[in-house]
Amino acid sequence: MTNQKEEHNTQIGPSLEDFVYGAIDGTVTTFAVVAGVAGANLAGGIALILGFANLLSDGFSMAASDFLSKRSKKQFMERERKREEHEVENMPGRERSEIREIYKKKGFKGKLLDQVVATIISNKKRWVDVMMREELNLVEDGRGAGKSAIVTFFSFLIIGLTYAMR
């Protein structure tokens, strides 16, 4: 048996999601503008102006929407974390029962269940982290709203540019 460390590229995943989000919209909306211009038999210069206007305005709109949605999600998660911290601090019996029920449903029982619960509740941060993930289905992904918006904008611009130049 070898002790090979398994490598995972967890850094690109969130940016890839933002890139695909911007690229698809950049493709569709820019293609629609270019197709409309072609259908109207407008001059090439006008087509370029309309294509670039679409790229900049819609790209900015996508980036702003991405930024605001990520920031809103982060603020929501911060509020939920504070609520869970309050509940762990002020209603530990109820929260302990919830942890127990969560892991019981996962198939843990007897002494092992007791050990799992004891381990989780022995550290308040871990306890809250588990409640966030298991009870509320909320997982912090660490993505910055600004970085997401920039990736979305530039993917929209780069991919949309291929249609605007036609």
Residue 115 structure tokens: 């050990």
User: Is residue 36 predicted with pLDDT exceeding 60?
Assistant: yes
Report the pLDDT value the prediction gives residue 103, as an integer from 0 to 100.
98
- Using a pLDDT cut of 70, give the percent of the chain over it: 90
In the prediction, which pLDDT does 11 show?
61
pTM comes to: 0.74
Mean pLDDT over 123-151 rounds to: 91
Of 3-7, 73-77, 95-99, 124-128, the least confident: 3-7
* pLDDT of the residue at 31: 84
Give CA–CA dist 155/20, Å, rounded.
Answer: 7
State the chain's mean pLDDT as an integer: 88
Among the ranges given (7-16, 54-63, 85-94, 107-116), the one the predictor scored with the smallest mean pLDDT = 7-16
Mean pLDDT is highest, among 3-7, 79-83, 145-149, for 79-83
* pLDDT 10s digits, 48-101: 888 888 889 999 999 999 999 999 999 999 999 999 999 999 999 999 999 999
Report the distance separating Cα 21 and Cα 39, nearest Å: 27
pLDDT at position 71 is 94
d(CA 31, CA 90): 56
Tell me, what's the pLDDT at 46?
Answer: 84
Distance from C-alpha of 75 to C-alpha of 131, rounded to nearest angstrom = 17
Contacts 24+ apart (CB under 8 A), 12-15: 14/141, 14/142, 14/143, 14/148, 15/147, 15/148, 15/151
CA distances, 149 to each of 19, 22, 69, 143 (Å): 10, 9, 10, 10
d(CA 21, CA 27): 10
With cut-offs at 50, 70 and 90, classify the pLDDT of residue 9. Answer: low
